[in-house]
């Protein structure tokens, strides 16, 4: 009888203690959770806007690598861009010694892409081709060849609009719209975006990251896009080869007859100088 009474007393005390602990825990549920060690931890917040888009600048920036170089012939403009915007997975130059990346912007087809692809295949060099949706719709055989021959397909937006002039929804539509088109029609998922005209804002770079994309600009470009005023082939080749640098990202336009002509020689001279193509 005595033992039963003691057991009952201990049971009541235990239940009271549990009730106090539960009440204390309940009082924390709206702000913090307390671990057994007494350390408070922040609760998990779903759908938290980590990038804080509302606070970011919409000011339009027009990218250019500039003409000032460091001691290794790397454009300071590209290096500055990397440092400033790396938090948005954006870059204009790679940090790889002895490596070059060839990229081509595919705004429209001018009859030279086949020759460019033939050269790349012959030289066993891979490149990135940034396409807009109209190009992919009109030239599915060339897009298929790019993919099948191991090149990277880059996203250049649906309609080539200036990204910093768009709302968040419009930016995402330009990126995701082309992403879905390429995925549905070619079974290929793109991961790299080049903003049309090299125009961007801090806001548009952040939205691009939210879409799951990296932004890739360039560390070399020259006036090759005007089909009625093509640069001299010898002068262009000198310009390309004299600009070689570690981690270079070359932007060339596939509408250029000059680029199609000098590409084999440029690849040979870059390889002879000890560079590799990524």
Q: Which of 30, 253, 265, 268 is catalytic?
A: 253
Output the CA torsion 105→106→112→116 (10° steps): 50
Render pLDDT for 40-92 as a digit per residue (tens, 0 to 9).
433 333 333 456 788 999 999 999 999 999 999 999 999 999 999 999 999 99
Domains, the chain: 2-41 (no CATH), 53-277 (3.20.20.370)
Render pLDDT for 191-247 as a digit per residue (tens, 0 to 9).
999 999 999 999 999 999 999 999 999 999 999 999 999 999 999 999 999 999 999
Rounded to an integer, the average pLDDT of 120-126 is: 98
Render pLDDT for 87-109 as a digit per residue (tens, 0 to 9).
999 999 999 999 999 999 999 99
| Per-residue pLDDT, 21 | 40
- Annotation says 105 is catalytic: yes
Q: Is the pTM of this model over 0.85?
A: no
Three-state DSSP class for 27? coil
- Annotation says 118 is catalytic: no
Q: Which of 70, 71, 105, 134 is catalytic?
A: 105
Render pLDDT for 152-181 as a digit per residue (tens, 0 to 9).
999 999 999 999 999 999 999 999 999 999
């Amino acid at each position: 009888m005595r033992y039963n009474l003691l057991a009952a007393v201990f049971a009541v005390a235990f239940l009271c203690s549990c009730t106090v602990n539960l009440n204390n825990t309940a009082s924390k549920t709206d702000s913090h959770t307390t671990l057994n060690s007494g350390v408070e931890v922040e609760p998990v917040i779903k759908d938290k806007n980590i990038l804080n888009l509302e606070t970011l600048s919409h000011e339009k920036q027009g990218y250019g690598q500039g003409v000032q170089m460091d001691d290794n012939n790397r454009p300071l403009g590209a290096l500055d861009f990397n440092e400033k915007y790396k938090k948005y997975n954006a870059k204009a130059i790679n940090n790889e010694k002895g490596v070059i990346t060839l990229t081509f912007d595919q705004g429209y087809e001018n009859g030279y892409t086949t020759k460019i692809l033939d050269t790349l295949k012959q030289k066993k060099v891979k490149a990135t081709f940034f396409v807009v949706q109209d190009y992919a719709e009109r030239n599915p055989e060339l897009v298929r060849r790019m993919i099948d021959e191991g090149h990277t397909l880059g996203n250049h937006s649906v309609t080539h609009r200036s990204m910093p002039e768009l709302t968040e929804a419009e930016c995402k539509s330009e990126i995701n719209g082309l992403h879905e088109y390429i995925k549905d029609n070619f079974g290929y998922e793109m991961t790299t975006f080049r903003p049309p005209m090299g125009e961007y804002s801090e806001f548009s770079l952040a939205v691009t990251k939210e879409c799951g994309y990296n932004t890739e600009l360039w560390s070399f470009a020259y006036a090759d896009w005007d089909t009625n005023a093509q640069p001299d082939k010898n002068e262009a080749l000198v310009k390309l080869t004299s600009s070689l640098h570690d981690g270079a990202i070359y932007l060339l336009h596939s509408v250029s007859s000059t680029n199609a002509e000098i590409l084999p020689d440029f690849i040979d001279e870059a390889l002879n100088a000890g560079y590799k193509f990524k």
